[in-house]
Amino acid sequence: MFRHKKDPDGFLKEYNQQSRGEAFFSNMRMRFGPFVKSRFGRMWHKDVWMRCVIMNILVVACEDVERELKMAG
């Protein structure tokens, strides 16, 4: 039997987490390009980590601007 029929609430919770993660990385690829420039393991991890940090900062900044525009308007 299919999992979404056996446990629909658990399935939806896990599916929503997966779709959020895919949306985040899709947005990151659109902003920074599809490829990581570093070729070596440690530098590759640092490159990906910094992209995630920058992406989170951009998301928070955009939300702050949107909130201020709603309050002003």
Q: What is the pLDDT of residues 16-67, one digit of tens each?
A: 888 888 888 888 888 888 777 777 788 888 888 888 899 889 889 989 999 9
Q: Are 59 and 53 in contact (CB under 8 A)?
A: no
Predicted confidence at residue 1, as pLDDT, reads 59
Confirm whether pTM is higher than 0.85.
Answer: no
Greater model confidence, 5 or 49: 49
Six-digit token string for 46: 């640092």
CA angle 62, 37, 20 (to 5 degrees): 40
**How many angstroms separate the first and last alpha carbons of the chain?**
52
Q: Are 51 and 28 in contact (CB under 8 A)?
A: yes
Greater model confidence, 2 or 53: 53
